[in-house]
Structure 1
Amino acid sequence: MELRHLQHFVAVAEDQHFTRAAERLLVSQSGLSASIRALERELQTPLFVRTTRRVTLTEAGRALLGEAVRILAQVRAAHEAVAAVQGVLRGTLALGTEQCIAGVHVAGLLAAFRRRHPDVEVRLRQAGSGELAEEVAAGRLDLAFAYRTQADTDQLRSVSLASEPMTVLCHPSHRLATAVACTPEDLSGETFVDFHPDWGPRRTTDAAFAAAGVRRTVSLEVNDVHSLLDLIDENLGIAVVPRHFRHKREGLTALPLKGTGEAVYETVAMLPPPEATSPAARALMALLDTSEEGV
């Protein structure tokens, strides 16, 4: 099995189209088709279902895709490790992050990284914490800054960045604005503004209310912080968010959320196992003043 066969396979799987994949890879369509056929012959099974408009993965193709992506990421990491030993850090840093993550100023961190390592191409992707964890574990991201969604595994480990309590944000004219603090029971029946279920703040809030036995309904769901704050600013609902969000819109009222036990918003750097961590990811973590032992 040749690496180029795996590269061609992954490109077709991602584009779901031979012509587009061939254009992206800068190879002929006939050459790409021959490469895929060679891989299918070696594995003795079809990898794609081909139609006139698109191609889709077979069950065997889906099984191969995750391993192929992981193998290619490890090969890339090996090339970059050799370059790093030779004193040159180059290649690509694929970084994922949630919006407004606590414990790290992503733009400032990347600016410092770029100054030190100008030959490294930086690719930044924003998504929810659950998806970011999957991308790091699969080798599609070098690391991600996100909410802790799970315990460490053989394919994913976490380095703690920050931990903070959750806060209730509401309009100054809201009935809760004069309270000293709130419990989940106090918020029963309120209209909530929140992020999509994959986001860290939403996961934290859902878990806290479930633990308190209080049912809540998210009526207004957004995918960015400023939209959430705008809706609260118009008194269309309240939100439970990490405490540092209160500084993003000074006109809103912030109340501590009590009665949630150990429910906190913990942000982490998600990384692959030490042996699979790229030199670029190590260098970025070093800029966070995080101990590199085991990184």
Structure 2
Amino acid sequence: MELRQLEYFVAVTEEGSFTKGARRVRVAQSAVSATIQKLERELGLPLFTRDSAGIALTDAGAALLPEARALLSAERRARETVDQVRGGLRGTVRVGTLVSIGARPASQGPIVVDLPAVLGRFHVTHPLVTFRLRTAPTGSAGHLAAVAADELDLALVCTREQPGGVRLHHLGSVRLCFVCSRRHPLAEASSVRLEELAGETFIDFPIGWGNRTLTDRAFAGAGIARNVPFEAADQDTALGLVRNGLGVALLPRSGSEEEGLSVVDIEDADLDLPVAVAMPGDRRPSAATAALLTSILRAAGRRPAALSRRR
């Protein structure tokens, strides 16, 4: 078994097809297919089912995947450690990002940390480090699972949970407020209570996103059922729906104070959404990952702590 075979196997699995997997590793699809077929012959079992609907992991493939990722991560860390001897940080950092965390034209600054600015400064200082940025359709829940599975080196997440296999570095918090159109009956209120929002039509982020989890729990704790017919994966889309009278939302004040909208504090619910950097809790990060974490923490006004292997 060769590391190259495992690299192709993981790429095809994560990209969902041989074509996309081959594009990721920059090798002809025929070569990737032949390499994985050779691996299957060596193991004596098929790793994928292949049909007109696409590919899927077999039981053998699912069992191999975490071991393959662990071996590739170990090889990558070993190579990066040796690279340090040659001088300068090198390697690739896989980063999970949040759509709404960053500088917004309509706000006075970043919500918590301006990740694009951090990456830009880091690239100037460490040009030999490359990034692979990834969003998750399932939001913070997806990023936390990817970090635990060693698919990401670090990720920005919004969560109050402390999942197993993940270490969180707190960056700050975002307070969610009631956002409605100027035509809404509560638009001029100084503050509102959750019970006043019963019966409203809500626009919210998809299930799995940190702010959706926070708001769902707040309303469930108050015994209020919500109607959420609209889901939006970014703040701008949610604000557009609110502005056009299609519903109300709970969103950060920063970036929501726009013409045609009212932002009102909620007085009877804990709606502070923690923002953190998630990293594997049982593996020492590469030098490049540790340096990037330090840059993110400093940008958020946090003091970097020593990183050590945790078991």
Partner residue of 1:151 out of 162, 167, 174: 162
Q: Normalising to structure 2: TM-score of the pair?
A: 0.83
Does residue 48 (structure 1) correspond to residue 48 (structure 2)? The answer is yes
Consecutive unaligned residues of structure 1, counting only runs of 5 or more, are none
Of 281, 284, 292 in structure 1, the residue corresponding to residue 305 of structure 2 is: 292
- Specify the alignment match of 1:70 in structure 2: 70
Q: How far apart, CA to CA, are the structure 2 residues paired with 1:92 and 1:213?
A: 47
* 2:105 aligned partner: none
Matched, 1:2 2:2: yes
Hey, what's the Cα distance between the residues in 2 that align with 1:53 and 1:227?
A: 32
Q: Is the 8 A contact 1:129 1:149 kept in 2?
A: no
Q: Closer, same or farther in 2 for the Cα pair 1:254/1:32, shift >3 Å?
A: closer
What is the aligned counterpart of 2:118 among 109, 112, 118? 109
Q: Check whether the contact 2:100–2:234 (CA below 8 A) recurs between aligned residues.
A: no
Q: CA deviation at 1:193?
A: 1.2
Alpha-carbon distance, 1:8 to partner: 2.5
Q: Hey, what's the Cα distance between the residues in 1 that align with 2:157 and 2:286?
A: 19
After superposition, residues 1-295 of structure 1 pair within 5 angstroms as: 1-14=1-14, 17-18=17-18, 21=21, 25=25, 32-33=32-33, 35-51=35-51, 54-101=54-101, 102-127=111-136, 128-148=139-159, 150-154=161-165, 156-247=166-257, 249=258, 251-260=260-269, 262-273=270-281, 275-287=283-295, 288-289=297-298, 290-294=303-307
Structure 1 residues 180 and 43, CA gap change in structure 2 (3 angstroms): same
Q: Which one-letter code corresponds to 1:71 in the other structure?
A: L
**Matches of 1:61 and 1:123, distance apart in 2:** 24
Aligned-pair CA distance for 1:89: 0.8
Root-mean-square deviation (CA, aligned residues, Å) is 2.6
Normalized against structure 1, the TM-score is what?
0.87
Q: Per the alignment, in what secondary structure is the counterpart of residue 141 of structure 1?
A: coil
Amino acid at match of 2:224: V
- The letter of the residue matching 1:145 is L
Residues 192-215 of structure 1, C-alpha deviations (whole Å, 9 max, x = no match): 111111222211111111111111
Q: Which residues of structure 2 form unaligned runs of 5+?
A: 102-110
- Cα separation, 2, equivalents of 1:275 and 1:219: 41
Q: Please report how far the alpha carbon of residue 139 of structure 1 lies from its aligned counterpart in structure 2 after TM superposition.
A: 1.8
Of 188-197 and 25-34, the range deviating more from structure 2: 25-34
Identity of aligned residues (%): 40
Cα distance per residue 1:82-132 (max 9 Å; x no partner) = 323543211212211112224211111111111111111122223311111
Distance of aligned partners of 1:275 and 1:23 in 2 relative to their CA distance in 1, 3 Å threshold: closer
Measure, in 2, the Cα distance between the counterparts of 1:194 and 1:53: 32
Q: Report SS of the residue matched to 2:142.
A: helix
Specify the code of the residue in structure 2 equivalent to 1:115: V
Give the secondary-structure state (helix, strand or coil) at the position aligned to 2:191. coil
* Distance in 1 (alpha carbons) for counterparts of 2:160 and 2:46: 35
- Post-superposition CA distance 1:53-77 (Å, at most 9, x none): 8443212212222332233133212
* Secondary structure at 2:276 match in 1: strand
Alpha-carbon separation, structure 1, partners of 2:265 and 2:169: 27
Q: Residues 153 and 285 of structure 2 are in contact (CA less than 8 Å); yes or no, is this contact kept in structure 1?
A: yes
Q: Is the 1:157–1:270 Cα contact (8 Å) retained in structure 2?
A: yes
Query: In 2, Cα distance between the equivalents of 1:65 and 1:196?
Result: 28
User: Contact 1:162–1:267 (CA<8 Å) still a contact in 2?
Assistant: yes
Which one is further off, 28-37 or 109-118?
28-37
Q: Between Structure 1 and Structure 2, how many residues are aligned?
A: 292
Q: Retained in 1: the 8 A contact 2:48–2:58? A: yes
Q: Distance in 2 between matches of 1:177 and 1:227?
A: 20
CA contact (8 A) 1:285 1:292 kept: no
1:177-204 deviation line (CA, Å, top 9, x unaligned): 1222112111000111111112222111
